[in-house]
Structure formats: structure tokens, C-alpha cells
């Protein structure tokens, strides 16, 4: 298994993408924007479809560019609409996301390679190339460095935007930065889990850690380690069983979340049952 060059590249990609998404999932869980992540993940499909329509072919480059462009337009566009109207960001995101997705569905009938889109819908980490690895590495460095440098103002903006503004934090810029980094993390996970399943990789790790600890820093570093280890374990399971690696990653991370939900010493369902019976 370890001597296969395809598995070696997939293993490196799993560590990079799993850790990056797991670390950033801490911000997603604290901000409670899981539904926004789901909307943005589905927005990447029409971006890929439009890129194919304009270029006439499906390549790694135009798929990444199309997905990134569509997610940026919808994600940051929702912020612009909410800032300049009485419409909330969630409402604006819902309208822009469904409009973009409808456009993608309408475009599908005009594409010559609709079957190849399945790789981008559900991921195919076993087919990553050296260029994909470098792209994942670049995105990982950018997301992790930016998150670390702006960690305190980002957290302050997430918890208390009014207090952050009073302390001189540029709240609007931090919101744009958050959505920009969120979109980069989503695009990085395209090759691993695809458009449809990427939300699982960007929510599950920190959500699982939140059931095990109250320490905020562990939410990020623990989420990163869980995302990386869970992705590697899923890759090994996928190799042994023959199932697709993308769904395997989400299944493993989802199973770990369910175990934490049931068995967590402090917040687990089974640990709370005796206390409920006593009360």
C-alpha cells in the first residue's frame, strides 16, 4: 500500500487537507455557520460547470478556478448585499446560492463531459497529482498562517463584534477575511471529498472536539489533528475495502462525532443519563 505512488500522494493530500480543514472548522463551529458552509460547497458545482462551458474541457486548473470564483462571488457577495441593504446575510446567501446552483443545473445539459463531474462532486483523492499537492500545500500555508496571525481579532469578531469594534478591530475586514479563508479551505478539499461532501470535512472535526473539551485552543489544534488522522484512517479503510475515499473520509469523521456524542465524559448522551435519572 505504502509503495504505491498514487497512495503516497493521496496520503500527503489527506494530511494537508484534513489538518487545514480541521483547524479552520474551529472558526466555523464557533461562528455557527455550518449551513453557510453547505451553501458555499454546493456553489462550487456551477462554477466548475461554467468553467467547462467556457473552455470546452474539464481540467484541474479550470475546475479549481471555476469553483473558487463561484464561491467567492456568492460568499463575499452575500456580505456585500447584507452590508448595503436590510436583507440579512443568511437570506442573501440563500438567494445567491440557489440562483447559482440553478444556473449550474441549467448548464449541465450543454456540457460534453458530464460524467467526469462525478469526481468533483464526490472527490477522488487517489488521482491527485504533484501539482494538486503543491496547490493544497499553498492553500494550507495561506489559511493556517492567516488564521494564526489574525486569530485574536477573528475570535473577537466571532464572539462580540461590538466589543471588537470598540477595541479598534476592523470587523468588516475580519468578516471578509473569514469568508475568504473559508472558501479557500473548501476549494482545497475539492479533490479529497468533492463539492457535495466538503461540508463534512469543514465542520465535523471541531464539532467532535467541542464535545470533549471547553478549551478554545484545543478546538483548533485538536480539530486539525482529528481531521488529519481521520482522513488518513479513512484512506486506509478505502484502500482495504475498495470504497471511494471521499465518502470514506466523511463517514469516518461522522462516526467519530457520533462516538463523542454518545461517550464523551462530560457532554456525552450516555454520561448524562444517570444525572437525568437522579434529578
| pTM flag (> 0.85) | no
- Stretch 2-12: mean pLDDT, rounded? 85
Assign domain 5-265 to its CATH architecture.
Orthogonal Bundle (1.10)
Q: CB of 76 within 8 A of CB of 134?
A: no
Q: What is the band of 118 on the pLDDT scale with cuts at 50, 70, 90?
A: low
Kindly write down the DSSP assignment for every residue of 26-93, as one continuous string.
HHHHHHT-HHHHHHHHHHHHHHHHHHHHHHSS--HHHHHHHHHHHHHHHHHHHHHHHHTSSS-HHHHH
Q: Is 213 left (phi over 0), alpha (psi -120 to 50) or beta?
A: beta
- Residue 123: phi and psi, rounded to 5, are 85, 150
CA 267 from chain centre, in angstroms, equals: 25
- Stretch 10-34: mean pLDDT, rounded? 85
Mean confidence (pLDDT) of the chain = 81
CA 253 from chain centre, in angstroms, equals: 13
**Block residue for cell numbers 500555508:** 141
Supply the pLDDT for residue 229: 93
> Is the pLDDT at 277 greater than 70, yes or no?
no
Amino acid at each position: 500500500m505504502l509503495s504505491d505512488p498514487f497512495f503516497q500522494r493521496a496520503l500527503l493530500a489527506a494530511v494537508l487537507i484534513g489538518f487545514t480543514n480541521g483547524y479552520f472548522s474551529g472558526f466555523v463551529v464557533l461562528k455557527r455557520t455550518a449551513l453557510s458552509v453547505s451553501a458555499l460547497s454546493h456553489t462550487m458545482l456551477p462554477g466548475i460547470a461554467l468553467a467547462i462551458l467556457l473552455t470546452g474541457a474539464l481540467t484541474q486548473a479550470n475546475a479549481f478556478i471555476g469553483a473558487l470564483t463561484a464561491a467567492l462571488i456568492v460568499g463575499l457577495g452575500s456580505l456585500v448585499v447584507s452590508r448595503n441593504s436590510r436583507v440579512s446575510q443568511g437570506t442573501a446567501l440563500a438567494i445567491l446560492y440557489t440562483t447559482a446552483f440553478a444556473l449550474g443545473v441549467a448548464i449541465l445539459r450543454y456540457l460534453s463531459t458530464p460524467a467526469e463531474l462525478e469526481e468533483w462532486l464526490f472527490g477522488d483523492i487517489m488521482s491527485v497529482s504533484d501539482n494538486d499537492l503543491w496547490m493544497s500545500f499553498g492553500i494550507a500555508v495561506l489559511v493556517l498562517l492567516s488564521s494564526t496571525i489574525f486569530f485574536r481579532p477573528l475570535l473577537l469578531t466571532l464572539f462580540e463584534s461590538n466589543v471588537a469594534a470598540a477595541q479598534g478591530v476592523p470587523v468588516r475586514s475580519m468578516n471578509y477575511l473569514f469568508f475568504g479563508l473559508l472558501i479557500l479551505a473548501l476549494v482545497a478539499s475539492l479533490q479529497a471529498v468533492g463539492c457535495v461532501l466538503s461540508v463534512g470535512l469543514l465542520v465535523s472535526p471541531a464539532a467532535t472536539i467541542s464535545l470533549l473539551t471547553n478549551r478554545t485552543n484545543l478546538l483548533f489544534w485538536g480539530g486539525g489533528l482529528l481531521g488529519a488522522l481521520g482522513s488518513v484512517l479513512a484512506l486506509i479503510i478505502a484502500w482495504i475495502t475498495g470504497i471511494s475515499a471521499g465518502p470514506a473520509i466523511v463517514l469516518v469523521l461522522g462516526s467519530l462525532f457520533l462516538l463523542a456524542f454518545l461517550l464523551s465524559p462530560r457532554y456525552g448522551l450516555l454520561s448524562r443519563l444517570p444525572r437525568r435519572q437522579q434529578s
